[in-house]
Structure 1
Amino acid sequence: MKRILLFLGTNLAVVLVLGIVAHLLGLNRFLTANGLNLGALLGFAAIMGFGGAFISLLISKPVAKWSTGAQTIGQARNQHEQWLLDTVGRLAQGAGIPMPEVAIYEGEPNAFATGATKNNSLVAVSTGLLNAMSQEEVEAVLAHEVAHIANGDMVTLTLIQGVVNTFVVFLSRVVGYLVDSFLRRNDEQSGPGIGYFVTTIVCDILFGVLASIIVAWFSRQREFRADAGAARLMGNATPMVNALRRLGGVEAGELPKNVATAGISSRPAWMALFASHPPIEERIAALQSRR
């Protein structure tokens, strides 16, 4: 319930901020005079901005299972699966969250956590990760994923994505109306022209790129927090440091886009500004500085 209230409160706050800024700058009078209903635009931007992000969060767990082929462990079939269930259960108890679903999927070394709420979450590990790491290192990775759930990272990133999406939709259309009004100063024809549509599309792309940079920055910060959370759950930072060092020496498996930000990355993306994970070296340094 608290997370839902946070979502609704954030949505309302964004709309209010946009409305106040437009009023202070006098944009509301200008845009209304040129045929734009500012209130309707604010509502449209909020629905488009938060709607997609919220729907993505709600379906994150089934989509993650489908896209990776992850098989949930219901009843342990062997000692390895039993160890996974017992370990995740103990870590979840230490983090103060309900037991997540645990799943295994075929692939190169990687793991991820997802789910709409702490009560409906999933921790999945690949067979490659289980085969490439020691039991203590696997436990540290599981602790990292449990820390993501305990920190509410999935909801937090959804809120951030919704905020930036709302700004993208709103600002793109405001700029589109401004450009279109300038191009059609002596045109008495009503309704938006081609200048509005072209400008809106261009702004959607440009502002969308900037929004991706902002979301990626927040994603990198949550990785540091999850590493620190794993160190707390493990009792010290050494297992997580060792796990990161091991990951730095292997090629982390590529995850589908819908769960990529929740997984492991052994190196940053080709452009650091768009990387969802910090470099392994920075994560290790941050953990070692906590000792």
Structure 2
Amino acid sequence: MGVAVGVLATLSIVVALIVGFIGGLLGFVAWEWIATGLEAVASFPGVSDVTDVSAPAAGFFAALALVVVINWWPLLTRYTPVEYLFQPTPPSVVATGAVLGCLYLVIIEGSAAVTSGVAAVLSPLERAVLGLGLSGLLVVGLFVAGARREIRNLRSELVDDSVPAAEVDPELEATVRRLAQFASVPAPEVYVTDADRPESFTLGSGASAVIVVSTGLCERLADDELEAVLAHEVSHLANFDSRIVAAAIVPVVIADDWIDPDASDPGDLLWNAVFRALKRYGQFGVAVLSQGREWHADAGAAALASPAALASALETLADARRVPETDLREWERSVVALDILPPALEEQGSGPFRTHPSTAARIRRLRRLAAS
């Protein structure tokens, strides 16, 4: 956990600084345009130019008048000759002019209030620093939101072809509910996907949690083995593993989003090399974190069900597992789905980026737990 947190924290800081600085520079230019536009709009004549009323007060009362018109329009039409705006009648023309005048004052006096207020409080240098900082934070926030949306889409795609377990195997859903009650977590939805490849994985957390199992998994395992595998998935929910891993993978997804797949000139190639290195660095951190969560899920499953049965299930599944032919080979998708085994064969899942501990080591540990 210490290694994983260290790697992911440094990655998050570096990615946030790079993205925030670049976005801040772009946003700073936009802020300058906005400021210039506000100053130009504020130069238009307003009530504050010919009366003693200040620009903030004039803008406030004009906005208040618009709010009254919008919210109490039926009441106004009941006690005045005005029925509609933009009609060729004298009352309607007067009312339309008043509304448009209030809208004009909101824009003009509001712009004057903002420009004068900022100029009175901040120096030009402070305004530049504030614009750069706010722009950077805004861009980082937008990228984080986009990465989280990508992760949600990946999860949704994994459940698209599945059907509720209640429709095909009610006993499966009952087993999960019982295990969830033992683990003191909300009962997740259970889905079954029609696939010969044995797999089971957990998505989401809390009330939105989902456990998906394949028909190939259910057909290959004995009842006690299947219960142990489901206990492993419920243990992921009890440990909030899906939420933890989803948060950890966000900077990795952001780094991947900044890689240009069509880069050709040296500058773009260098840019890609930097973000590919950051992505691989983050993948290492997420892999270390994921391995730790798998160890914990095995321990939780041993407490909820039989550790010997889980060891037997892992042996059966490892023998039946083969390289997937679907998009599960994508690293990001294999991480957001907390599967019972890695998405490919052991030999192809080895190295610093493997998301699961060695199956043989997990079996040895579970057998020691069963013996004790």
Q: TM-score, normalised by structure 2?
A: 0.55
Match of 1:284 among 363, 366, 370: 363
Which residue of 2 is the match for residue 158 of structure 1?
246
1:64 to 139, 155, 158: 158
More helix by share: 2
Amino acid at match of 1:55: R
Question: Is the 1:223–1:277 Cα contact (8 Å) retained in structure 2?
Answer: yes
Hey, what does 1:204 align to over in structure 2?
275
Find the residue that maps to 2:271 and give its secondary structure: helix
**CA radius of gyration, larger in:** 2
CA distance in 2, matches of 1:38, 1:206: 27
CA distance in 2, matches of 1:268, 1:233: 30
Q: CA deviation at 1:59?
A: 3.8
Q: Does 1:127 align with 2:215?
A: yes
Which residue of structure 2 lines up, in the alignment, with residue 244 of structure 1?
314
* 1:155 Cα deviation from its structure 2 partner: 1.0
- 1:41: how far off? 4.0
What displacement does 1:18 show?
A: 6.9
Q: TM-score, normalization: structure 1?
A: 0.69
For 1:260 and 1:134, the matched residues in 2 are separated by: 25
In 2, Cα distance between the equivalents of 1:237 and 1:289? Answer: 9
Instruction: Kindly state the Cα deviation for residue 249 of structure 1 after the two structures are TM-superposed.
Output: 2.1
Count of paired positions: 235
Shift of 1:157: 0.7
Which residue of 233, 237, 245 corresponds with 2:304?
A: 233
Q: Distance in 2 between matches of 1:268 and 1:52?
A: 34
For 1:63 and 1:147, locate their aligned partners in 2 and report how far apart those are by CA, in whole Å. 23
Partners of 1:251 and 1:16 lie apart in 2 by 38
Question: CA 1:162–1:260 in structure 2 vs 1: closer, same or farther (change >3 Å)?
Answer: closer
Task: Summarize the Cα distance change of 1:130–1:253 in structure 2 as closer, same or farther, 3 Å threshold.
Answer: farther
Q: Distance in 2 between matches of 1:222 and 1:105?
A: 24
Measure the CA separation in 2 of the matches of 1:197 and 1:94: 54
Cα distance between partner residues in 2 of 1:277 and 1:229: 16
Relative to 1, partners in 2 of residues 1:60 and 1:148: Cα closer, same or farther, differing over 3 Å? farther
Aligned residue number for residue 44 of structure 1: 139
SS in structure 2 at match of 1:85: helix
Q: Displacement of 1:46 after TM fit? A: 5.1
State the SS of the aligned residue for 1:277. coil
Superposed CA offset, 1:239-266 (max 9, x none): 1111112223222573624642321236
Q: Could you tell me which runs of 5 or more consecutive residues in structure 2 were left unpaired when the two chains were aligned.
A: 1-7, 18-127, 260-264
Alignment of 1:1-291 (within 5 A): 39=133, 40-41=135-136, 43-45=138-140, 47-48=142-143, 50-66=144-160, 69-74=161-166, 76-77=167-168, 81-107=169-195, 108-115=197-204, 117-163=205-251, 168=255, 197-234=268-305, 236-252=306-322, 254=324, 256=328, 257=330, 259-261=333-335, 262-263=338-339, 264-265=341-342, 267=346, 269-290=348-369, 291=372
Q: Deviations over 1:68-122 (max 9, x none)?
A: x211234x45xxx12101101101111111121111112211111112x311111
Range with greater deviation from structure 2 (154-163 or 118-127): 154-163
Q: Structure 1 vs Structure 2: percent identity of aligned residues?
A: 26
